[in-house]
Amino acid sequence: MEAVICGIDPGLGTTGYAVLRCAGDSASVIDAGVCRFDANQPLARRLVAVRSDLATIFDEHRPECVAVEELYSHYKHPKTSILMGHARGVILMAAAEAGAEVRSYAATRIKRFLTGHGRATKAQMQRAVQTTLGLATLPEPADVADALAIALCGAADMRERATEAAV
């Protein structure tokens, strides 16, 4: 089974994205980068920019699946979680409008999938992504590494579901 998977690391300032072509157990990077948004703009304008930038990526690559990191809420920063929820909602909407299957994964699941434990550091995740994809250099910035990790987790989940459906 060959599929195009897009991983998204949501953010209102920076959103990381990665597009992978997956066939069996192998994956190759088609595109990866970050979308940056002006913090001086009102929230509504930034949300329009998030949707616009991701819609362009989805239109260009036509992913079958868009994997998005779930929100993590810290009790000391509830406002951050609420603002991130706005960005994540717009991302889910853009993916659904593009006709992609949308899957969400907890950060701990993504980290556990790539490193074997759910509390991996950013540096450990970057090295795991580099090794898994056979990249010559560490993926940077961290938002890109996170998006690549999310896409890899989404690809593994798709393979697992396809195997279960075949049984």
The band of 78, judged by pLDDT with boundaries at 50, 70 and 90, is confident
Count structural domains, the chain.
Answer: 1
Q: Identify the DSSP state of 120.
A: -
Preceding omega of 141 cis (within 30 degrees of 0):
yes
The band of 157, judged by pLDDT with boundaries at 50, 70 and 90, is very high
Residue 79 pLDDT greater than 90, yes or no: no
Query: What is the average pLDDT score of the chain?
Result: 94
25 as an active site residue: the answer is no
The band of 76, judged by pLDDT with boundaries at 50, 70 and 90, is confident
HSE toward the beta carbon, residue 9, CA cutoff 13 A: 25
Nearest to 7 by CA among 50, 85, 69: 69
- What's the confidence (pLDDT) of residue 75? 67
Task: Decide: 54 and 17 in contact? Cβ < 8 Å.
Answer: yes
The mean pLDDT value for 131-139 works out to 96
CATH of the domain at 98: 3.30.420.10
- In sign, the C-alpha dihedral spanning 102, 107, 109, 115 is positive
Residue 98 structural domain: 2-166
Q: Is 93 helix (H, G, I), strand (E, B) or coil?
A: helix
Quick one: what percent of the chain has pLDDT higher than 70? 98
Residue 145 pLDDT greater than 90, yes or no: yes
- What's the confidence (pLDDT) of residue 162? 86
| Catalytic position from the list 2, 9, 59, 160 | 9
The mean pLDDT value for 107-115 works out to 96
9 as an active site residue: the answer is yes
| CA atoms of 69 and 17, how far apart (whole Å) | 11
Residue 74 pLDDT greater than 70, yes or no: no
| Catalytic position from the list 101, 143, 157, 160 | 143
